Copies of this chain bind each other. A is one copy, B any other.
Amino acid sequence: MDARFDLVLERTLDAPTDLVWEAYTKTEHLKQWFAPKPYRITECELDLRPGGIFRIRMVGPDNFDTGHGNAGCVLEVVEGRKLTWTSALGPGYRPAAMGEGCESFPMTAIITFADAGDGKTQYRAVALHRNAKDRDIHEQMGFQDGWGTTATQLEQLAKGLVNA
């Protein structure tokens, strides 16, 4: 990553890596934590292979639709360790038609999961942007708060899978 262009969130999550991975990659779990509450996910598709679809529709309070309904593309899958996806491409690697809704810049997310011992997971989410302007817009949209809140929601959900 490049600090001029990119944003990063790192957290140690109090849940084991396999459950955090499961919470991230199964859509029935993902839709429960991926939006910072009171936003919620109303539609979610994830085809966990390079070239597969990753699509989320996020709706806010009073049913405000964020427009995050564009289909993105999975780029890398390392089981239990790494998931990379982008909104610059759609499924099958077709360049994405951007500009609908509030997502006015393309982004690539590189999410890594590492065993931190004691049943904990080192979680790292990097957002890659085209340039410093997009980075700054994303930061001002509340990247740290938003992605931080969802990391906590991910942790809670993954912990709950222990006894499921």
Which of A20-28, A85-93, A113-121, A153-161 contacts its partner? A85-93
A36 to chain B minimum Cβ distance, whole angstroms, is 23
Q: Which residues of B contact A110 (CB under 8 A)?
A: 93
Q: From A128, which residue of chain B is reached at the shortest CB distance?
A: B94
Q: Which residues of B contact A106 (CB under 8 A)?
A: 88, 95
Q: Which residues of A from 97 to 139 have beta carbons under 8 Å from B?
A: 97, 105-108, 110, 128-131, 134
With A75-B50, A76-B50 known as contacts, the answer to whether A129 contacts B95 (CB < 8 A) is: yes
Q: Which residues of B contact A84 (CB under 8 A)?
A: 93
Q: Are A107 and B95 in contact (CB under 8 A)?
A: yes
Q: Which residues of B contact A108 (CB under 8 A)?
A: 89, 93-95
Q: Are A130 and B97 in contact (CB under 8 A)?
A: yes
Interface size class of A (residues with CB under 8 A): 20 to 34
CA distance A85 to B7 in the complex (A): 25
A15 to chain B minimum Cβ distance, whole angstroms, is 27
Give the oligomeric copy count.
2
CA distance A5 to B92 in the complex (A): 13
Which of B87, B105, B128 lies in contact with A92, CB distance below 8 A? B128
Would you list 24 pairs from A and B whose C-beta atoms are within 8 A, ordered by A residue? A50-B75, A50-B76, A51-B75, A51-B76, A76-B93, A84-B93, A86-B89, A87-B95, A88-B96, A89-B89, A89-B108, A92-B128, A93-B128, A94-B108, A94-B128, A94-B130, A95-B105, A95-B106, A95-B108, A95-B128, A95-B129, A95-B134, A96-B130, A97-B131
